[in-house]
């Protein structure tokens, strides 16, 4: 069981008709050399799917689904985010994208990036820190979820200002 138990790796909630799933990408963090060494874990996504919270085949009556992952996909192990997963195992992020509408990631401490689509399915929105220190580009987004998609306003603090 996943959703009926307390976990530090996976979470799921429905709030005002929007489904949120969260996956702790920090569980393999060790030091400042973590890039390309982190995991979300396909079995965690499949467990949430088995609990009925994620669905591959969704219809117009399904609520939007938003996934939250702290690290951007580039920080994950290659088999987690490329089309070249191990053996017959699908790419973890592609698998998640087929079951969500929006994937929110962060930990970039960089400038604002435009949203992009993952596996021609879910939109991916990567953001930096709301504030780390004046030496980084700090930014945040305000997202309005609608039945037909989402709208977005982005704000950036220039560290030179």
pLDDT digits 0-9 by tens, 83-141 = 665 667 788 999 999 999 999 998 776 667 788 898 888 999 887 776 667 776 777 88
- Domain limits, the chain: 10-157
Name every residue whose Cβ is closer than 8 Å to that of residue 87 and which is 6 or more positions away in sequence. Answer: none
Cα distances from 43 to residues 3, 57, 148, in angstroms, run 13, 19, 30
Name every residue whose Cβ is closer than 8 Å to that of residue 27 and which is 6 or more positions away in sequence. Answer: 8, 9, 39
Is the Cβ–Cβ distance between 48 and 21 less than 8 Å? yes
Torsion 112-14-12-123 (CA) sign:
negative
Name every residue whose Cβ is closer than 8 Å to that of residue 82 and which is 6 or more positions away in sequence. Answer: 91
The reported pTM is 0.85
Q: What is the pLDDT of residues 2-50, one digit of tens each?
A: 556 676 788 888 888 888 999 999 888 898 899 989 999 888 899 888 8
Token readout for 63 is 């609520």
CATH topology for 10-157 is Transcription Regulator spoIIAA (3.30.750)
SS3 48: helix
Token readout for 31 is 């030091």
């Amino acid at each position: 069981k996943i959703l009926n138990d307390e976990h530090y790796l996976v979470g799921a909630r429905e709030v005002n008709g929007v489904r949120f799933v969260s996956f702790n990408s920090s569980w393999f963090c060790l030091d400042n050399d973590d890039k390309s060494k982190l995991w979300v874990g396909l079995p965690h996504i499949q467990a949430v799917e088995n609990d009925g919270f994620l669905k591959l085949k969704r219809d117009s009556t399904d609520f939007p689904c938003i996934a939250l992952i702290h690290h951007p996909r580039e920080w994950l192990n290659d088999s987690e985010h490329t089309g070249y997963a191990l053996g017959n195992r699908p790419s973890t992020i592609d698998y998640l994208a087929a079951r969500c509408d929006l994937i929110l990631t962060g930990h970039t401490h960089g400038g604002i990036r435009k949203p992009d689509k993952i596996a021609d399915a879910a939109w991916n929105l990567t953001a930096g820190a709301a504030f780390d220190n004046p030496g980084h580009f700090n930014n945040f987004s305000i997202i309005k979820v609608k039945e037909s998609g989402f709208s977005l306003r982005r704000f950036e603090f220039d560290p030179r200002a």
